[in-house]
């Protein structure tokens, strides 16, 4: 009886709305409820590859308009460009709600950025005035020709006329001039080889180190965060090169849509690749965002597991499998987050010296060698052990974070190649705390080398600098002189076996 009554009331209120009478306080709420339900059932937004998206001048115009409108809003408006960017990082004080909350270096990296993009996209859509607009993604991962920064983001090279253009892209690749990101920067095969979403002690996993609480800048980066994520940031440089300013550059959002898409694809590889849904912290820790009406919203991992059913969006490549050479590796040697080893850690000092030394990384590769007297170095891996490489006392200038590739036992004279068995990982300084120890799980690499008998009586560790900025023949204009590469120092390298 009362059920009948309330249904009649609802119907009555709705008919008020259609008659244009909005005087009753509860009417707008109910009508919005119905509208949202209707949308939820009918609209799944498709995030398109920007190279397809930009074939439509209307879509590019809507994207430009949305960015332009957001940029015109004041910084204390949660739906403004500045407020959204400051949520990622800012030096502005006082900090407003949710500013400086991006999550790097932990297993919250993927879910946090998914939520961030989701609400940003809703704000952008509303600002653009186009109810069909979805955020495109920049697929620098699969098609070589698409490693060039998409044209709408660099032409016209005018920040007033083109809201997608940013002059401060001054990293080692001249992206505004049309130079393509090198294959080594965007490679994701080594990240996809990982079958574990997280790792409990280092970042060596697809998604980062397990922690119980979010970390704004922690050192447990997963493989995909190191490469391609960090590498793309640093190669573009300028605003993108620093987490504090990165989200001010419009290309940030397309870069992250691609990272979010790669997360989907990684899951689709199967082979035990799953989200950590058993982890209550990952599932339930909440983060704050703002919707298009400036309302603060809380969200947690369990709400972003399935983009199509929970967040109303999907990518335009739902079924294609990855064409990056994932299958060529041996997944059986992949480390697992559950792996536990002998309880006493053993340690080798690489290039042990009684005096305090500081190593400085520069353009020429630096190789350190463990003493061959060290028993551990002769047989670094025993069954079921976890081998970790630690670079201690790392310091760098935040202005210009860079990264170094790390190789184990790279033969003399060999050209360093991240697809070779000597490649151990990347020392990636983007968003790393400015002083600290950087750890990398190298179990796979040493077990591989041991199997090939390439782990003799000693271990060498080689640091290789990224390629220098290559000037592009068709550059549009010089934005500002290339900054010198920041200096990176560290106090030593150790390898521990556990
Ligand atoms: Cu939160 Cu690509 O950075």
Give the alpha-carbon dihedral of 371, 375, 376, 378, to 10 degrees.
Answer: 80
Distance from the alpha carbon of residue 263 to the mean position of ligand 1, in angstroms: 14
Rounded to whole angstroms, how far apart are CA atoms 279 and 490? 34
* Residue 486 scores a pLDDT above 70: no
CA distance 204 to 222: 6
- The pLDDT of residue 396: 77
Please tell me the distance between residue 380's alpha carbon and the centre of ligand 1 in angstroms: 35
| Predicted confidence (pLDDT) per residue in 422-461, tens digit | 888 778 777 776 677 777 778 778 888 878 877 766 778 8
- What pLDDT shows up at residue 366? 81
Q: Are 216 and 418 in contact (CB under 8 A)?
A: no
**Residue 231: which of 483, 394, 425, 416 has the closest Cα?**
425
CA of 27 to the centre of ligand 1 (A): 41
**Beta strand ranges found along 164-253 (DSSP E):** none
101-117 pLDDT tens trace: 999 999 999 999 999 99
The pLDDT of residue 21 is above 70: no
In the prediction, which pLDDT does 122 show?
98
* Cβ pair 476, 169 in contact under 8 A: no
Phi/psi for 349 (5° steps) reads -95, 130
Residues sharing a CB contact under 8 Å with residue 80, sequence separation 6 or more, in sequence order: 70, 71, 73, 74
- For residue 232, the CA-to-ligand 1 centroid distance in Å is 10
Q: How far apart are CA 332 and CA 435, in angstroms?
A: 35
Distance 256 CA to ligand 1 centre (A): 7
Please write down the long-range contacts of 79-86, taking CB distance under 8 Å and 24 or more positions apart: 79/123, 79/126, 79/127, 79/290, 79/292, 79/294, 81/248, 82/248, 83/290, 84/120, 84/123, 84/247, 85/245, 85/246, 85/247, 85/248
Q: How confident is the model at residue 321 (pLDDT cuts 50, 70, 90)?
A: very low
What per-residue confidence (pLDDT) applies to 380?
A: 67
The pLDDT score that the predictor gives to residue 495 is 80
Q: What is the pLDDT of residue 468?
A: 62
Helix (H) or strand (E) holding 255: helix 251-268
Q: Is 477 helix (H, G, I), strand (E, B) or coil?
A: coil
Query: Rounded to the nearest 5 degrees, what angle is found at the Cα of 112, between the Cα atoms of 107 and 118?
Result: 145
Ligand 1: nearest atom to the Cα of 230:
2
Query: Please, which pLDDT band fits residue 375 given cuts at 50, 70 and 90?
Result: low
Residue 113 CA, closest ligand 1 atom number:
1
Between 240 and 37, whose confidence is greater?
Answer: 240
Ligand 1 atom closest to Cα of residue 233: 2
**Distance from Cα 294 to the centre of ligand 1, integer Å:** 22
State how beta strands 492-497 and 387-396 pair.
antiparallel
Specify the ligand 1 atom closest to the Cα of 256. 2
Q: Is the dihedral of CA 184, 185, 187, 193 positive or negative?
A: positive
Instruction: Note the pLDDT tens digit of each residue in 470-482.
Output: 544 443 333 334 4
Tell me, in angstroms, the distance from the centre of ligand 1 to residue 368's CA. Answer: 32
Residues of the chain above pLDDT 90, percent: 49
Flag whether pLDDT at 12 surpasses 80: no
Query: Is-cis flag, bond preceding 130, omega within 30?
Result: no
pTM of the model: 0.74
Nearest atom, ligand 1, residue 112 CA = 1
From the CA of 252, give the closest atom in ligand 1: 2
Mean pLDDT of the chain: 80
Residue 165 Cα to ligand 1 middle (Å): 19
For the CA of 109, the closest atom of ligand 1 is 1
The DSSP result for 448-471, as a single string, is HHHHTT---S--EEEEEPPPPPBP
CA of 221 to the centre of ligand 1 (A): 12
CA angle 187, 191, 196 (to 5 degrees): 170
**Nearest residue CA, atom 3 of ligand 1?**
243
Sequence length of the chain is: 498
Q: Over the stretch 403-425, which tens digit does the pLDDT of each residue have?
A: 788 898 888 888 888 778 888 87
Residue 243 CA to ligand 1 center (angstroms) comes to: 6
Tell me the torsion sign for CA atoms 443, 108, 304, 252.
negative
**How does DSSP classify residue 216?**
S
> Which atom belonging to ligand 1 lies closest to the Cα atom of 229?
2
- Alpha-carbon distances of 94 from 91, 98, 130, 214, 289, rounded to whole Å: 9, 12, 34, 21, 18
Closest residue (by CA) to atom 1 of ligand 1? 102
Sign, CA torsion 241/245/248/254 = positive
CB atoms within 10 A of CB 135: 24
State the pLDDT at residue 340: 36
| pLDDT value, residue 384 | 65
Which protein residues are within 6 Å of ligand 1, measured from CB? 88, 102, 104, 113, 229, 233, 243, 246, 256
Closest ligand 1 atom, residue 88 Cα: 1
- Residue 290 Cα to ligand 1 middle (Å): 18
Q: What is the sign of the dihedral through the CA atoms of 163, 168, 174 and 177? A: positive
pLDDT at 467: 64
pLDDT above 70 (res 40)? no
Q: Is the pLDDT of residue 381 over 70?
A: no
């Amino acid at each position: 009886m009362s059920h009948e009554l309330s249904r009649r009331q609802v119907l009555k209120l709705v008919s008020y709305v259609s008659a244009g009478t909005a005087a009753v306080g509860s009417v707008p709420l109910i009508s919005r409820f119905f509208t949202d339900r209707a949308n939820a059932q009918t609209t799944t937004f498709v995030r398109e590859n920007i190279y397809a998206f930009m074939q439509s001048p209307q879509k590019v115009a809507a994207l430009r308009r949305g960015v332009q409108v957001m940029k015109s809003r004041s910084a204390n408006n949660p739906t403004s460009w500045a407020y959204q960017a400051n949520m990622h990082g800012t030096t502005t004080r006082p900090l407003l709600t949710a500013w400086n909350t991006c999550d790097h270096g932990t297993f919250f990296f993927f879910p946090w950025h998914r939520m961030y993009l989701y609400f940003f996209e809703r704000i952008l859509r509303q600002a653009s005035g186009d109810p069909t607009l979805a955020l495109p993604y920049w697929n620098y991962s699969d098609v070589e020709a698409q490693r060039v920064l998409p044209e709408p983001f660099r032409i016209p090279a005018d920040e007033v006329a083109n809201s997608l253009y940013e002059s401060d892209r001054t990293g080692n690749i001249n992206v505004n001039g049309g130079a393509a990101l090198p294959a080594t920067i965007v490679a994701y095969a080594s990240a996809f080889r990982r079958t574990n979403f997280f790792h409990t002690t280092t970042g060596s996993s697809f998604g980062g180190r397990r922690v119980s609480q979010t970390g704004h800048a922690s050192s447990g980066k997963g493989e995909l965060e190191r490469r391609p994520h960090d590498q793309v940031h640093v190669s573009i440089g300028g605003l993108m090169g620093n987490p504090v300013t990165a989200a001010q550059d419009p290309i940030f959002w397309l870069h992250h849509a691609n990272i979010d898409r790669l997360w989907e694809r990684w899951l689709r590889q199967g082979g035990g690749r799953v989200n950590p849904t058993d982890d209550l912290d990952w599932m339930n820790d909440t983060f704050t965002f703002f919707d298009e009406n400036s309302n603060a919203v809380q969200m947690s991992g369990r709400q972003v597991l399935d983009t199509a059913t929970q967040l109303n969006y999907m990518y335009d490549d739902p079924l294609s499998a990855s064409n990056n050479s994932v299958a060529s590796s041996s997944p059986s040697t992949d480390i697992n987050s559950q792996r536990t080893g002998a309880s006493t850690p053993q340690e080798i000092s690489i290039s042990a010296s009684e005096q305090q030394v500081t190593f400085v990384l520069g353009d020429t590769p630096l190789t350190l060698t463990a003493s061959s007297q060290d028993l551990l170095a002769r047989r670094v891996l025993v069954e079921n052990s976890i081998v970790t490489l630690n670079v201690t006392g790392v310091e760098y200038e935040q202005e210009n974070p860079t990264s170094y590739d790390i190789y184990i036992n790279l033969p003399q004279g060999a050209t360093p190649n991240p697809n070779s068995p000597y490649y151990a990982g990347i020392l990636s300084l983007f968003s790393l705390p400015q002083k600290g120890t950087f750890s990398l799980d190298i179990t796979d690499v040493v077990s591989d080398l041991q199997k090939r008998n390439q782990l003799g009586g000693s271990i060498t560790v080689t640091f290789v600098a990224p390629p220098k900025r290559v000037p592009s023949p068709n550059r549009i204009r010089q934005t500002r002189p290339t900054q010198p590469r920041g200096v990176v120092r560290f106090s030593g390298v150790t390898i521990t076996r556990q």
